Amino acid sequence: MNLKCKHKYIIKSPKGRGFIFIDDKIQREKIENTIREMNLNSYLGYNLLSPYSNEIIKNIKKENRKYIDNYMSNDYHGNGIMWIFSGYPHDESPSYLTEISFTSNNYNIFGFKPGDNIINLIELLKKQKFRKIANRADNSTETIYKKNDLYIILYHDDETIIKIIVRVRTFYLGNNLY
C-alpha cells in the first residue's frame, strides 16, 4: 500500500489492537534541515535534537542543573533555561533534545533573546518562512510560529520578549502538539 503523508504517523488500531506507523522521510529531512539552520544561528546551550548521551548528562550535572523525572522525558532546568529530552519522532525512549524553554538572556534564537524587541524577531521569523499559527492568551501575550514541525513559542508584552520556547513536534501524547 502506497500512502502519501506529510511527516505524519498514520495510526490505525484495527479491532482495537496494534498500531501502524508510516514515516515520510523526505518531510523529516526538511524538518531536520530547518532545525540545523536554527541551531547554526542560535545559542541554546545544546542543539535541538542533540542525542541524550552520557557526555551531555555529565555536562549538565557539572552545571548543577536540576533534574525532573517525567514519565516520557528527561528534563533539566536552572538559571533561566529548561532542556527536555524525549523520543523523536517516536516516544519509544527519551533520546533527543526536543524542547528548549528559556527566560535568560544568556541564550538566543536567531540572535534574539528575552528582553529584546518582539517586533524585530517576528519580522525575522517571517523572513525565515515561519508562519504564525496562533495567539493563545486572551491578551495575545503568547504567539506561536511554525516551520516544518519546528515551533517557536513567544511570550511577550507589547514590545519585549519575555520567554522563548523552541519545540520540535514529536508524536507522543505528552507533547501538546499532536
What is each CA distance from 56 to 37, 134, 145, in whole angstroms?
A: 21, 33, 28
Answer yes or no: is 24 within a domain.
no
Answer yes or no: is 142 within a domain.
yes
Tell me how crowded residue 173 is: count the other CB atoms within 10 A of its CB. 9
What is this structure's pTM? 0.81
C-alpha cell at 11: 495510526
Report the distance separating Cα 68 and Cα 34, nearest Å. 28
Torsions phi, psi for 54 (to 5 deg): -60, -35
Answer yes or no: is 8 within a domain.
no
Answer yes or no: is 19 within a domain.
no
- State how many domains the chain has: 1
Residue 14 makes CB contacts below 8 A (sequence gap 6+) with: none
Answer yes or no: is 1 within a domain.
no
Summarised one tens digit per residue, pLDDT across range 100-154 is 999 999 999 999 999 999 999 999 999 999 999 977 656 568 999 999 989 999 9
Answer yes or no: is 99 within a domain.
yes
Summarised one tens digit per residue, pLDDT across range 145-171 is 999 989 999 999 989 999 999 999 876
Range of the domain at 37: 29-168
Residue 23 binned pLDDT confidence (cut-offs 50, 70, 90): low
Answer yes or no: is 100 within a domain.
yes
Report the distance separating Cα 141 and Cα 155, nearest Å. 5
